[in-house]
Amino acid sequence: MRIKYFQDTDTLYIEFKHAEVVETRDLDENMLIDVDGEGNICALTIEHAREHADIPSFSFEQVAAA
């Protein structure tokens, strides 16, 4: 998983897995998903990210299976 924030365009890109993207689908006017040939989600793009996500307080935590 890789997360990139492009400050100049206020775009957040979350790549869930590295795969060849065969289609990009609009979820709404600010969010897009990339899917592979099997229809699996590869990535999510959020435009105007500061408005739609709390970018300054982003954190990541990996929780071990119980």
Q: Where are the domains of the chain?
A: 2-56
**Beta strand extents in the chain (DSSP E only):** 2-6, 11-15, 23-26, 31-35, 41-47
- The mean pLDDT of 55-65, rounded to a whole number, is 73
Count each helix (H run) and each strand (E run) in the chain, helices first. 1, 5
Residue 28: predicted pLDDT: 94
Amino acid at 61: E
Per the CB < 8 A criterion, the answer to whether 43 and 16 are in contact is yes
DSSP state of 27: S
* pTM (global) more than 0.95: no
pLDDT tens digits for range 4-59: 988 899 999 999 999 999 999 999 999 999 999 999 999 999 999 888 877 766 67
